[in-house]
Amino acid sequence: MEPRILERAQHCISRRAIDSRVLSVMYRLIGDGHTAYLVGGSVRDLLMGRKPKDFDVATSAHPAQVRRLFRNSRLIGRRFPLVHVFFGRDNIEVSTFRRHDEALAGTQDPLIQRDNCYGTPQDDAFRRDFTVNALFYDPRTGRVLDYAGGLEDLRGRQIRAIGVPELRMREDPPRMLRAVRFAAKLGFVLEAATRAAVERWRADLLRAAPARLALEIHRALAIAAAPQAFAMMRELGLMEVALPLLDAYLAGLADSAADGDATAHNLAALGLAIAQGLEATPGFALACLFADFYLRQEGRAERWQEAAAMLRSRGVSRASVDEAGRLLQMLLQMLTRPERLPALARRRHFAAGLRLYRLLVLNYAAVAAGSGERGALGIFSGDGARRRRRRWRRGRKRVARRRALQEPAQPEALAEGASQGAVWEKG
């Protein structure tokens, strides 16, 4: 099958937009007699005029051959070996063209168990997940190669699975979350058959490796378009499978008169911060996701323990779950006991907790004002508010004096904490 080809004059990709280190890797592979293309999301983003987050290279060279060409490289992966070529702290991922394992073609279970078969560029294109991610850029000629119809779907702004959508979702269930992430991130829609496959086989998410499931959940929600991804996950039923405790809580809010949009507002604040350069850790993203779940329920400690157990069963690391729990506890204390801020400032995770507070506090102020409650969880107004603000300011000054005696420089976290005084002074 011949690919559809866009000549250099027919597209907007310029070599100047490609990292010079990536070009050097491809040219060395080509100079050694191999085929090497820029592949995947980087080609898609360049065609859309976006700046790629990273660049991936696919080649006809086998991993051992790539490893011999680049001394600054390392083999990684067991199921399908890849090569990382290092440039300081950065690395370029180089993979060999691969294809479907024909030995598994007749099996009843489509879940991919092994995937270590090398192939041609055409094989590699049809092995990828979505058409818009199966575009190749040839640095020698400046051509874009399209084997799977990705250019048409790019123009139509839709995410379409390559091949039979139901089979592609079942052989690698985390693709459902990837489809949501790409649709939200790019402002695209899911093609009808792909959407139907996600809705039908969403329960297969639990068949994925837990660590991979946790990674894709984080990738879907720790993006600038987090609220759109979150809404799409709920609409498709993926949230019910991936995070059933949170989904049940949100469904209960929808059935009652309570404000069910607080979680979406929190994710919108997270997405805005990410768009402005924040790099959200998995624990920080989870704290934003579960903030309303944690703050509004009775017996929050027990409910969080249930949520933590659910997250651990989904492959989230213990460190990330513990980080989220600490941040939520700190957020609660900042909201309900502002006089404890000087004591909180001495804690290791104060800077992250304060960042979470600054992201979410206005959301809860708006929710409280709209519901007629006495401030956000009862702290923004009412009896004693002025006294609490005054005590907090005095405590902050005491901590500043104490630290000035102990350290030559003021800690950055305390400086950030001091900037919050204006919030409390407005009451």
Active-site residue (options: 45, 124, 129, 138)? 129
Contact 62, 118 (CB under 8 A): yes
Phi, psi of 83 (to 5 degrees): -120, 130
54 is catalytic: yes
Instruction: Give the pairing of strands 56-59 and 36-39.
Output: antiparallel
Which residue blocks in 222-317 are alpha helix, DSSP H? 226-236, 238-242, 244-255, 262-275, 282-295, 300-313
Single-letter amino acid, residue 235: E
Distance from C-alpha of 255 to C-alpha of 235, rounded to nearest angstrom: 16
Q: Give the single-character DSSP code of 1.
A: -
CA–CA gap between residue 242 and residue 363 (Å, rounded): 26
402's enclosing H/E stretch is helix 385-406
Catalytic residue among 54, 101, 123, 259: 54
Are the C-beta atoms of residues 156 and 163 closer than 8 Å to each other?
no
The residues pairing with 57 across neighbouring beta strands, listed in sequence order, are: 38, 94
Distance from C-alpha of 80 to C-alpha of 64, rounded to nearest angstrom: 12
B/e letters for 237-250, b = 16+ CB within 10 Å, e = fewer, are bbbbbbbebbbebb
| DSSP assignments along 13-28, one per residue | --GGGS-HHHHHHHHH
Q: Is 32 a catalytic residue?
A: no
- Which member of 56, 124, 138, 172 is catalytic? 56
Measured distance between the N- and C-terminal CA atoms of the chain, rounded to whole angstroms: 68
131 contacts 165 by C-beta, under 8 angstroms: no
- With tokens 């703050």, the residue in question is 295
Rounded Cα–Cα distance for residues 215 and 282 (Å) = 9
Q: Residues 137, 13: contact at Cβ < 8 Å?
A: yes
Residue 273 parent element (H or E):
helix 262-275
Is 101 one of the annotated active-site residues of the chain? no
Instruction: Tell me which residue of 19, 40, 23 sits closest to 31, measured CA to CA.
Output: 23
The most distant pair of C-alpha atoms in the chain lies apart, rounded to whole Å, by: 78
- Active site residue ranges: 54, 56, 129
